[in-house]
Amino acid sequence: MSPEAAAALQQTRFSTIDGIIVVVYLALSLLIGVMVRRYARNMTAYVGADRKIGTWLGVATMLGTEMGLVTVMYSAQKGFTGGFAAFHIALIAGVTTLIIGATGFIVGPLRRARVLTIPEYYEKRFSRRVRVLGGCILAFGGILNMGLFLKVGSKFIVGITGLSGEGWALPSVMVALLLLVLVYTALGGMISVILTDYVQFVVLSFGILVATGMAIAKLGWFHIFETTHTVLGDAGFNPVAEGSGFGWSYVLWMFVTAGLVGCAVWPTAVSRALAMESEKAVRRQYMVSSISFTVRFMIPYFWGICALVFIHASPEGADLKALFFPPEGSGVEAVDNLYALPVFLGRLLPPVLIGIITAAMIAAFMSTHDSYFLCWSSVITQDIVAPLRGKRGLSEAARVRLTRLIIFALGGYVLYWGLFYEGSDDIWDYMAVTGAIYFNGAIAVLVGGIYWKRASRAGAMAALVAGCTAVFGLGPVQQLVGLQTRDPATGEWVQRLTGAQVGLMSVGLAFAVMVVFSLAMPDRRPSVSEGETSSPAS
């Protein structure tokens, strides 16, 4: 980063009082984790909060988890580059969640099955082998998926507070945030996650509403739309227009990822449904949460658009234009557009409010991390280690202890990935592809298992393996297998298939093999009954 860029990024209104607000908030979160530790007596309480979460607490905690800082950052990036055309993803997410809530599709039967994790359902419906394989794929895809969280989140903190984007600041912020989350998640499990998520919901909701209002007041309602049109043209509004960066296959892919998977298949969202007090509460929660599933994408997109307008057409952001959009042929490297949002907010918001918003965003960061740490660690404990031990089993205390240990191991991985990974992928697309390694197979197994009596163990195993073909959507893998080739004239990589197209083909393949293998290799014996799962908590 050039000295000019570093100096420009350090211009912020973040002051000492804002720092105090952030520290007080973080201390409060830590305190909650320590205080509720005594309630995590067994695995059901530790992972599922004793299945006693009411509808509105479910709504609050769902937003707290699903609107993480990483979501804010990658969504703002999408809004910054794609304009209002990105809004189609928010629309799809909201409508799909509403339909899931109205019909109870997937989540209703899962709650009735009284399982703690999705792979546990695999064992109930199919076999222990399916559970272990599903758990391994889920943990692999999920852990890979959260690899960039820490780095992206820390970039927001660095950008909004005006810390140096290089040197010690970024790693220090990463280590401090990570330690905080690890301590309170490992101590209190789902109970502390739920309680801190509630506090985060309150701070986050009012914080983002105020910030959005201020952005509109500052830039002007009509000015935002006009400038977006000037900069991006029709492609800034129409997601299927040429040059929008989306297209029909992308829109269809979003129905799968941001829609169906985001609310009904992704484990961190489903774990909320499984912890609710009743199926009725689950469905009601999903219907209300359709608002937050829309807003969690829409508002960050809008903030990204506002950052674009601020840089292009506001006197206060004029110095940023040459940094984020250097003239072609100038040889100057553009500043990472992930910094656009925090720098915009750092210059827009007044003191105190900037502290509250920063606290809210750190809250969002923590609420995502704690849920993900808990989710993946409990999957490894419940769905891989415990079933593999067979009859010897694992005691309740050993499960809680192992889950805590894995949480710390995952923390080490996330820190390593954050410090050393140097990828330049679009964050949302990276996450969609890594997540698809798990969910492409899981969709077929869940839908087949719940709604098709003839779905067999062989079909489930084949579908889970077929879902892994989503990995061919990742840029480096595409280059390795020849799905991307270098253009001899420009030297740039040219895609033969986009990540969205690979993802759609992979979903189709998973469903196809589920049907073919189930018909060709039906189960001889009935599936494992509910009482035979290896989880004592269920």
Partner 1 sequence: MDWTLLWKLMLVVMLGLFAVMAVFGTILGGRDVRRLLKHLRQPEADEETETETEATPPSD
Minimum gap (Å) between residue 194 Cβ and partner 1: 7
Cα distances from 24 to residues 60, 157, 174, 359, in angstroms, run 21, 16, 18, 9
CB of 18 to partner 1, least distance (A): 22
Q: How far is the CB of 85 from partner 1 (least distance, A)?
A: 8
Q: CA–CA separation, 181 vs 415, rounded Å? A: 12
Choice between 208 and 379, CB closer to partner 1: 208
The Cα 276–Cα 115 span in angstroms is 12
Closer to partner 1 by Cβ: residue 200 or 268: 200
Nearer to partner 1, 356 or 444 (CB): 356
Amino acid in position 54: G
Looking at the Cβ atoms of 299 and 379, the one nearer to partner 1 is 299
Q: How far is the CB of 431 from partner 1 (least distance, A)?
A: 23
Nearer to partner 1, 77 or 200 (CB): 200
Asked whether the beta carbons of 36 and 243 are under 8 A apart, the reply is no
Residue 56 or 408 with smaller CB distance to partner 1: 56
Burial 318-327 (b: 16+ CB within 10 A, else e): eebebbbeee
Smallest distance from partner 1 to CB 39, Å: 4
CB of 84 to partner 1, least distance (A): 4
DSSP sequence for 483-496: SEEE-TTT--EEES
Closer to partner 1 by Cβ: residue 298 or 407: 298
Residue bearing tokens 């969690």: 296
Pick 264 or 275: Cβ nearer partner 1: 275
CB 500, min distance to partner 1, A: 20
Contact 93/262 with Cβ under 8 angstroms?
Answer: yes
Min dist. Cβ of residue 430 to partner 1 (A): 26
Element (H, E) at 519: helix 499-520
CA 228 – CA 306 distance, rounded (Å): 9
Position 206, amino acid: F
Tokens of 48: 């599922």
Q: What is the helix, strand, coil percentage profile of the chain, to 5? A: 80, 0, 20
CB of 221 to partner 1, least distance (A): 8
Smallest gap from Cβ 138 to partner 1, in A, equals 27
Which residue number, 133 or 306, has a Cβ lying nearer to partner 1? 306
Report whether 493 contacts 481 (CB < 8 A): no
Is residue 233 exposed (0-12), middle (13-18) or buried (19+ Cβ within 10 Å)?
middle
Choice between 60 and 187, CB closer to partner 1: 60
CA angle, 17 as apex, 315 and 206 as ends, to 5°?
70
Distances (CA, A) of 141 to 138, 220, 431, 530: 5, 42, 10, 27
Residues β-bridged to residue 276: 53
Chain contacts with partner 1 (rule: CB under 8 A): 36, 38-39, 41, 45, 49-50, 52-60, 63, 84-85, 87, 90-91, 94, 191, 194-195, 198, 201-202, 205-206, 209, 212, 225, 229, 234, 237-238, 288, 291-292, 294-295, 298-299, 302
* Residue 228 structure tokens: 């977006």
Q: Where are the beta strands (DSSP E) in 243-325?
A: none
CA triple 377-382-387, angle to 5 deg: 135
* CB 185 to partner 1: min, Å: 17
Distance CA 294, CA 298 (A): 6
Question: Which residue, 453, 413, 478, 534, is CA-closest to 131?
Answer: 534
Helical (H) or strand (E) element with 78 = helix 69-82
Q: What are phi and psi of 76, to 5 degrees?
A: -60, -35
Tell me how far apart the alpha carbons of residues 466 and 461 are, in angstroms, rounded to a whole number.
9
CB closer to partner 1, 194 vs 483: 194
Compare residues 25 and 302 and give the one whose CB is closer to partner 1: 302
- Give strand pairing partners of 270: none
Tell me the β-bridge partners of 486: 493
Considering beta carbons, is residue 63 or 509 the nearer one to partner 1? 63
For the bound state, the minimum distance from the C-beta of residue 176 to partner 1, rounded and expressed in Å, comes to: 27
In whole angstroms, the minimum distance from the beta carbon of 209 to partner 1 comes to: 6
